[in-house]
Structure 1
Amino acid sequence: MNNEHSAERPAEKSGDRRGIQSIEVGGALLQALVRHGGPMILKDLARDAGMPPAKAHPYLVSFGKLGLIEQDPVTGRYGLGAFTLQMGLSALHELNPLRVATPEAAKLSDEIQQNVAIAVWGNQGPTIVSIEECSRQVHVNMRVGTVMDLLTSATGRVFAAFLPARMTAALIEEDLARLKADRGALSREGLEAELEEVRRERLARAVGKPIPGINAFTAPIFDHTGHLALAITAMGPSGSFDPDWKGPIAKKLRACAAAISGRLGNTGS
């Protein structure tokens, strides 16, 4: 057999995911449009994508035929096309916020060595739907299905701060009346100040209460419409949990929540 014809190409290494370079090059133009957030002239678009205009133009023509790019006939500017919108809507429709958030919560738990819980708004209020436990023993009296207090827990205050008032008003009134009867500790003015702090810090904080000896931070997670989708809570013993707004736990929780929100299509929260 002729050696020239029998020669074989080297086998692709396991895990070596080879792509098509021209698609990756052209994709830089789409990425540049997304980053810019609006139509662009050819010169600026090509510059932001890292290529000369003469190289960018054929890609834009092909993208236009696919509906990925549209060119304004008056200004000549290029923008994202109708098919791009259809792709985005299809991707958003398939997104499950809890499925997106759960692996990120697990990674955060490992990183900060604290338990991390995810909560949604349920029929009775903020409800824990997932708990990721860290490798060390952290004893917190919480389980999946636990309904958190709306006003005294960090988890609850995130929902009180970011959900529409029509969804929370009745429960807030009930809790204020109960707290006044029990302890007289929280006025409406005090509540509004606390919720404003939550909105400003993009975090709610609990230090030793409602669970004695346990500190917690809760961060909001927003979807592509800007609405609150989930809340993510880091919690642990007060001796090993730094409650400083600018401490490492707070920073990492904020970053985790922002990353999940971004995965859900939120860009401005």
Structure 2
Amino acid sequence: MVSVGTVPGPIQSIERAAAMLRLLARGSGEYGLAEVAASLGLPKGTAHGILRTLQRVAFVEQDEETGRYRLGAALLHLGTSYLDANELRSRSLNWADALAARSGQEVRIGVHHDGAVLVVHHVFRPDDTMQTLGIGAMLPLHATAFGKVLLAYDADLSAATRRRELTSLTRRTIVTPQSLERVLTQVRAAGWANDAEEYLPGEASIAAPIRAPGGLVVGAIGISGSVDRICDSASRAKPALVSQVASAAEAISRALSD
């Protein structure tokens, strides 16, 4: 009997499916059933069952004339999504560096991933203080300027977020769906978002949307720093910094369209 605390071992069928996808990604990219089975040392029946399962979820396609298998559209879309994040980062490098230099603050670029903001690029503050690289960090959608931007321009993501519990991170965190929706309406009207001590005490941020050709918002760029440097005495974002962030976002959006 397996105890409740036992960690399960590898699942053989998943390992075989992964090996099959790697095989199809090689060479010509098309293989017959016999070739797949022989390459992986599997019985034809087992190989056929895995291929049919992968075909049902569109990870694999079968040519109607030749019967040969190749990678499917769904899997290629996943790869394209990864490349899109990297293209966003590569097109943003110069503008992110310039924004850090002008604002004197750290700069992040974030995209939505699995219900949070994934930081895909991070530029340190241009000073000598100790800092930690934030690439790969996951930030809450409802409590950061970056997240508010992504929510404001994605109705499905916003609805899903408002249905979940909004975790209180500080005394200023938005915790009700109604309050969040009001803020997102303001973000859409202004074209930028901010937070003041909603995620971390003493910290604030300003962010603006990055748009792909056609206007789709694919990410957000923004600055983060101490409240007294980002905001005025009433915790409002400083207009000069808002202008700098918005200009950087517009420049990156133009670069993505070129």
TM-score range, shorter chain: 0.5 to 0.7
Determine the structure 1 residue equivalent to 2:240.
248
Q: For residues 228 and 220 of structure 2, what CA distance do their matches in structure 1 show?
A: 24
**Pair 1:205 & 2:194 matched:** yes
Gapped runs of 5+ residues in structure 2? 1-83
Contact 1:208 1:215 in 2 (8 A): yes
| 1:150 match | 141
1:114 to 2:100 alignment: no
1:130–1:184: structure 2 CA closer, same or farther, 3 Å change rule? closer
Of stretches 121-130 and 101-110 in structure 1, the one that deviates more from structure 2 is 121-130
Which residue pairs with 1:172 in the alignment?
A: 162
Answer with 140-149 or 127-136: which moved more: 140-149
- Label 1:151 to 1:141 Cα distance change in 2 as closer, same or farther (>3 A): farther
Question: 1: distance between equivalents of 2:174 and 2:96?
Answer: 33
Three-state SS of the structure 1 residue aligned to 2:205 is strand
Structure 1 CA distance for aligned equivalents of residues 207 and 245 of structure 2: 8
* 2:211 aligned with 1:222: yes
Cα offset, 1:253, TM superposition: 0.6
CA contact (8 A) 1:151 1:175 kept: no
Cα 1:234/1:138, change in 2 over 3 Å: farther
Rounded to whole Å, the distance in 1 between the matches of 2:199 and 2:173 is 15
What amino acid maps onto 1:254 in structure 2? A
Residues 106/123 of structure 1: CA separation in 2 closer, same or farther (3 Å cut) = same
Deviation for aligned residue 1:184: 9.7
* TM-score of the pair, normalised by structure 2: 0.58
Deviation of the 1:227 alpha carbon: 0.9
Aligned equivalents of 1:159, 1:107: Cα separation in 2: 23
Alignment-derived partner of residue 187 in structure 1: 176
Q: Deviations over 1:41-79 (max 9, x none)?
A: xxxxxxxxxxxxxxxxxxxxxxxxxxxxxxxxxxxxxxx
Matched, 1:261 2:253: yes
Report the CA distance shift for 1:184/1:145 in structure 2 as closer, same or farther (over 3 A).
closer
Equivalent in the alignment of 1:101: 92
- Any gaps of 5 or more consecutive residues in structure 1? 1-92
Q: CA deviation at 1:113?
A: 0.7
Deviations 1:217-258 (A, max 9, x none): 011100102111111010111222235456110011111111
d(CA) in 1 for partners of 2:212, 2:249: 11
Length-normalised TM-score, structure 1: 0.56
Query: 2:182 matched to 1:196?
Result: no
* Residue correspondence of structure 1 range 2-81 to structure 2 within 5 A: none
Query: Once the 2 structures are TM-superposed, how far is the Cα of residue 198 of structure 1 from its aligned partner?
Result: 0.8
Check 1:210–1:98 CA distance in 2 against 1; reply closer, same or farther (3 A cut). same
CA distance in 2, matches of 1:236, 1:187: 26
> Aligned residue for 2:36?
none
| Aligned-residue identity in percent | 22
Once residues 258 and 100 of structure 1 are traced to their aligned partners in structure 2, the CA distance between those partners, rounded to angstroms, is 12
- Alignment match, 1:132: 123
Q: Secondary structure at the match of 2:241?
A: helix
8 Å contact 2:231–2:238 — kept in the other structure?
no
